[in-house]
């Protein structure tokens, strides 16, 4: 008789609660414990603590109780902290947050590149609360109950946690939240509203993304709201680029090393303005741009680093992959009264196809996205600039790229953690590499 394989049904029973001591923090700020089935990662647990936890899957576990607390544990001041997915380190004292982030960078550099810097600079820090000048809010409209939920996604879920005040947002953004919750249900296009972005630049901005057109009556309500709240409103409908609600609105601006730079809502903008400027100062100190010196600024955005470098007299070639940001970079250079070459290119493609690929190159600054510069870093090494300053928002890809620089004959002179995102595990890093003679 034929044997038919019938897979066993997975047990619906919850795993047994275990008790163990936490050995450390992983790179995402989770406690590391060694349970009966091996290593587990427990969000909310701290090194040295004796905890009860319940495993979920192979590596994740849920914190059930803390039997012995670490001295570094703090009571999170945010009432949404246990549900909201925005912050994940409020339970750790701030000084220890910074130490943890430096330790993560050091461990990853050793793991991927067998590399440590000659000098660790003190971390660049600022106020650990009310620092964010930009945020994205999720929106859900329940048409049957005519109820709006505006806030942030919960941890590992699509559920939205309604938020009326966020301790990481700048005050002018928090002031908009409750009036916004009252306005949005009045819009006829509410069913097509995807999400809201708030930006605190030289003027407060609101970018609303819709999957549908926005009618005249809704535009009138939004215009009235903008006047009441003293802010600019931009709309992005379907696949169109963001457009100002009022045609006569001027382009928004932010400050970088004393210069006022234009940007478009939706374009990349560092969330922490104080540390954003501190990074420019540190980059200038490391690069020491000289008049007539050829410097490339890669992943240049709208000119955050390029404009100050050009103001110092360097011959700057700024390369960015987003066409609208290249246009903004050119505009900002003109407004600042500096000359530079602004190029649009995908830096992960072979550089030989670009007209600027054979230009002389003394120094390089690169500030890639989380994916790092897997291809571009090899192109940089081939051109042998004397100095490379690398700005990173992902320590794992930074360590991977640092290994390429090391193999290419570069020493890691100095490095600093930039705590751009306090209360979260996210890490920004700046590093200075120098080619050996």
36 pLDDT band (50/70/90 cuts)?
A: confident
Q: Convert the pLDDT of each residue in 311-328 to its tens digit.
A: 999 999 999 999 999 999
CA torsion, ordered 59, 60, 63, 69, to nearest 10 deg? 50
Distances (CA, A) of 181 to 79, 236, 289: 19, 19, 48
Question: What percent of the chain has pLDDT above 70?
Answer: 97
pLDDT tens readout for residues 226-252:
999 999 999 999 888 999 999 888 999
> Residue 360's pLDDT is what?
87
The pLDDT tens digits for 329-355 are 999 999 999 999 999 999 999 999 999
Quote the percentage of the chain above a pLDDT of 90.
86
pLDDT at 5 over 50: no
Q: What is the pLDDT of residue 11?
A: 47
- Give the confidence band of 15 by pLDDT, cuts at 50, 70, 90: confident
DSSP state of 379: H
Which residues are designated catalytic?
Answer: 393
Among candidates 202, 195, 160, which has minimal Cα distance to 180?
Answer: 195
Residue 193 is predicted with a pLDDT of 96
The residues, any chain, with a CB within 8 Å of residue 421's CB and separated by 6 or more, are 271, 272, 427, 428
pLDDT at residue 7 is higher than 60:
no
Q: Beta strand pairing status for 410-418 and 119-120?
A: parallel
DSSP state of 84: B
List C-alpha distances in Å: 150 to 130, 141, 159, 162, 227. Answer: 19, 9, 11, 5, 22
pLDDT tens string 397-416: 999 999 999 999 999 999 99
Q: pLDDT value at position 3? A: 47
CA 125 – CA 98 distance, rounded (Å): 9
The CA distance from 392 to 104, in Å, is 13
What does the pLDDT average to over 21-36? 92
From residue 237, how far is each of 193, 195, 245, 264, 318 by CA, in Å? 9, 11, 11, 15, 31
The whole-number pLDDT of residue 366 equals: 98
**266 vs 325 pLDDT, higher one:** 325
> From CA 26, how far away is CA 343, in angstroms rounded?
39
Mean pLDDT, the chain, rounded, equals 94
- What DSSP assignment string belongs to 290-303? -TT-EEEEES-TTT
| Triad 268, 136, 155: Cα angle to 5° | 120
Q: For residue 158, what pLDDT is reported?
A: 85
Instruction: Give the C-alpha separation, 406 to 409, whole Å.
Output: 5
Q: Which domains does the chain have, with CATH numbers?
A: 18-73 (2.40.50.140), 97-127+272-435 (3.40.50.150), 134-244 (2.40.50.1070)
- Render pLDDT for 194-224 as a digit per residue (tens, 0 to 9): 999 999 999 999 999 999 999 999 999 999 9
pLDDT band at 1 (very low <50, low <70, confident <90, very high): very low
Contact in structure between 86 and 152 (CB atoms under 8 Å): yes
Burial grade of 75 (CB within 10 A; 0-12, 13-18, 19 or more)? exposed
| Cα–Cα dist 315/291, whole Å | 7
**Tokens (6 digits) for 382:** 């081939």
Q: What is the dihedral of CA 298, 304, 309, 310, to 10 degrees?
A: 100
What pTM was estimated for this model as a whole? 0.93
pLDDT in tens, 275-288: 999 999 999 999 99
Distance CA 143, CA 371 (A): 39
Distance separating alpha carbons of residues 113 and 142, to the nearest angstrom: 51
Q: What is the pLDDT of residue 12?
A: 54
Mean pLDDT in residue range 264-269 = 90
Q: Is the pLDDT of residue 258 over 90?
A: no
């Amino acid at each position: 008789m034929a044997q038919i394989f019938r897979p066993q049904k997975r047990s619906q029973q919850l795993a047994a609660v275990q008790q163990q001591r936490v050995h450390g923090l992983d790179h995402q700020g989770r406690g590391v414990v060694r349970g009966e089935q091996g290593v587990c990662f427990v969000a909310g647990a701290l090194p040295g603590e004796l905890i009860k936890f319940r495993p979920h899957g192979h590596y994740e576990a849920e914190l059930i109780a803390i039997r012995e607390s670490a001295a570094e544990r703090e009571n999170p001041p945010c009432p949404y902290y246990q549900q909201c997915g925005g912050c994940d380190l409020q339970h750790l004292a701030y000084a220890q947050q910074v130490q943890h982030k430096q330790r993560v960078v050091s461990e990853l550099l050793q793991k991927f590149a067998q590399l440590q810097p000659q000098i660790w600079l003190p971390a660049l820090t600022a106020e650990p609360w009310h620092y964010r000048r930009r945020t994205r809010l999720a929106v859900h409209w329940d048409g049957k109950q005519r109820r709006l939920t505006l806030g942030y996604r919960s941890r590992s879920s699509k559920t939205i946690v309604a938020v009326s005040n966020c301790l990481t947002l700048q005050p002018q953004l928090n002031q908009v939240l409750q009036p916004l919750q009252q306005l949005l249900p009045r819009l006829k296009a509410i069913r097509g509203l995807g999400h809201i972005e708030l930006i605190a630049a030289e003027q407060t901005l609101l970018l609303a993304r819709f999957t549908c057109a926005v009618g005249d009556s809704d535009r009138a309500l939004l215009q009235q709201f903008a006047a009441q709240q003293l802010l600019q409103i931009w709309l992005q409908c379907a696949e169109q680029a963001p457009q100002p609600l009022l045609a006569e609105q001027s382009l928004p601006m932010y400050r970088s090393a004393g210069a006022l730079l234009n940007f478009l809502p939706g374009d990349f903008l560092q969330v922490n303005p104080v540390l954003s400027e501190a990074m420019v100062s540190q980059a200038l100190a490391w690069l020491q741009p000289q008049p007539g010196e050829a410097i490339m600024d890669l992943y240049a955005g709208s000119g955050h680093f390029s404009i100050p470098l050009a103001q110092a007299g360097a011959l700057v070639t700024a390369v960015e992959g987003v066409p609208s940001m290249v246009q903004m970079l050119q505009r900002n250079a003109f407004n600042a009264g500096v000359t530079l070459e602004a190029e649009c290119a995908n830096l992960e493609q072979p550089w030989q196809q670009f007209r600027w690929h054979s230009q002389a190159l003394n120094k390089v600054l690169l500030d890639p996205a989380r994916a790092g510069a897997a291809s571009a870093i090899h192109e940089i090494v081939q051109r042998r600039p004397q100095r490379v300053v690398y700005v990173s928002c992902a320590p794992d890809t930074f360590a991977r790229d640092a290994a390429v620089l090391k193999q290419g004959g570069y020493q890691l002179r100095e490095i600093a953690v930039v705590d751009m995102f306090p209360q979260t595990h996210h890490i920004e890093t700046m590093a200075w590499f120098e080619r050996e003679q």
